[in-house]
Amino acid sequence: MRHFTCVQDIGDLKEAVNEALDIKKDRFRFTALGKNKTLLMVFFNSSLRTRLSTQKAAMNLGMNTIVLDVNQGAWKLETERGVVMDGDKSEHLLEAIPVMGCYCDMIGVRSFARFESKEEDYGEQILEQFIRYSGRPVFSMEAATRHPLQSFADLITIEEYKRTACPKVVMTWAPHPKALPQAVPNSFAEWINAAGYELVITHPEGYELDPVFVGHARVDYDQKRAFEGADFVYAKNWAAYADPHYGQVLNKDRNWTVDAGKMALTNEARFMHCLPVRRNMIVTDDVIESPQSIVIPEAANREIAAQTVLKRLLTPE
């Protein structure tokens, strides 16, 4: 595997999940693989889980890690080509990227959708430039349109907790005060579709996702009907995708919050969320604290997903 940005890069999903579960049994078997290799993690946005789990995964493989928070202490970066740089930005991404590549063997990039232009976001401008100009294997730590390390961890978690071969997975929109990217729901749909599970997506009108990611999933605007018989409920907020409202918050209706009454409609579904989560907006305290909630093991599997990906990136093809 040269780069990791989407589900296609990981190849056979069953094989990947089995490899991850095998790594989980003894995560310290491969410390020789990363010896004298350096991972650079570049963050254009905040992170708790991705930063810690990926760093831990790299350490499990014997790698060294460098973390750069672009917004804290680095030069302000220009990202557009052709700009006369007479403003507040001191350095261009087109120099910064190859320079970063000089100091490491692999680069992880977190760069969210900026919601300035759908074309720019869905063209994955920043991630693509790292792939093109760094000369290093690059992996996404959540880019504008996808969060594949999250989705991989989600799939590992579903594999561990599923009670039937083909569980019903329901992804529900839930309210949030700020505009959030579509990366997590896009990616989750992409991976669950690829895994071949039954997927129902429920959201208010106006929150339709890019059909490329929805695939064969069923879309239901009635959240309660969607929840019936669910084995997994995956909650997430996202801002509108469709024009002319791209990147906007259209609705903060707390009737969409996941609560115990709705969970009672399911097949004793497990509750999942990528975190960070806003309690009593996305999900009530009692649901996230209930035995049905698997948000902590889900977060723990981020380390396993990252280690599987880093191990593959370290392994010569």
Residue 200 or 239: which CB sits closer to ligand AN0?
239
Least spacing, CB of residue 178 vs ligand AN0, in Å: 7
Query: In whole angstroms, what is the distance from residue 69 CA to residue 311 CA?
Result: 24
Residue 101 or 148: which CB sits closer to ligand CP?
148
Query: In whole angstroms, what is the distance from residue 249 CA to residue 290 CA?
Result: 29
Q: What is the DSSP-derived secondary structure letter of residue 207?
A: -
Residue 133 or 191: which CB sits closer to ligand AN0?
191
Residue 78 or 121: which CB sits closer to ligand AN0?
121
Q: What tokens appear for 52 in the block?
A: 């810690």
- Residues in 145-204 at the binding interface with ligand AN0, rule: CB under 6 A: 180-181, 183-184
Q: What is the DSSP-derived secondary structure letter of residue 283?
A: B
Give the one entry of ligand CP, ligand AN0, none that residue 48 binds, where binding means its C-beta sits below a cut-off of 5 to 8 angstroms depending on kind: ligand CP
Size of the site for ligand CP (CB under 6 A): 9
Residue 150 interacting with ligand CP (CB under 6 A): yes
Query: In whole angstroms, what is the distance from residue 39 CA to residue 100 CA?
Result: 11
| Residue 184: Cβ within 10 Å count | 22
The alpha-carbon radius of gyration of the chain (Å, integer) is 20
Phi, psi of 186 (to 5 degrees): -55, -50
Residue 300 interacting with ligand CP (CB under 6 A): no
5, 50, 292, 301: which one binds ligand CP (CB under 6 A): 50
Residue 48 or 212: which CB sits closer to ligand CP?
48
Give the one entry of ligand CP, ligand AN0, none that residue 183 binds, where binding means its C-beta sits below a cut-off of 5 to 8 angstroms depending on kind: ligand AN0
37, 49, 168, 236: which one binds ligand CP (CB under 6 A): 49
Q: Which long-range contacts (CB under 8 A, 24 or more apart) does 198-201 make?
A: 198/166, 198/167, 198/168, 198/169, 199/169, 199/170, 199/171, 200/168, 200/169, 200/170, 200/171, 200/226, 200/230, 201/170, 201/171, 201/172, 201/226
Least spacing, CB of residue 50 vs ligand CP, in Å: 3
Query: In whole angstroms, what is the distance from residue 10 CA to residue 145 CA?
Result: 17
- Which one, of 140, 176, 142, lies nearest residue 258 by Cα? 176
Residue 6 interacting with ligand AN0 (CB under 6 A): no
Q: Binding mask 255-294 vs ligand CP (x if CB under 6 A, - otherwise)?
A: -------------------xxx------------------
- Residues in 257-296 at the binding interface with ligand AN0, rule: CB under 6 A: 274, 276
Q: Binding mask 117-156 vs ligand AN0 (x if CB under 6 A, - otherwise)?
A: -------------------------x--------------
- Which one, of 277, 241, 217, 274, lies nearest residue 122 by Cα? 241
Q: Which residues touch 244 (CB under 8 Å, ≥6 apart)?
A: none
Question: Which residue ranges make up the site for ligand CP (CB under 6 A)?
Answer: 47-50, 142, 150, 274-276
Question: Which residue ranges make up the site for ligand AN0 (CB under 6 A)?
Answer: 142, 180-181, 183-184, 274, 276
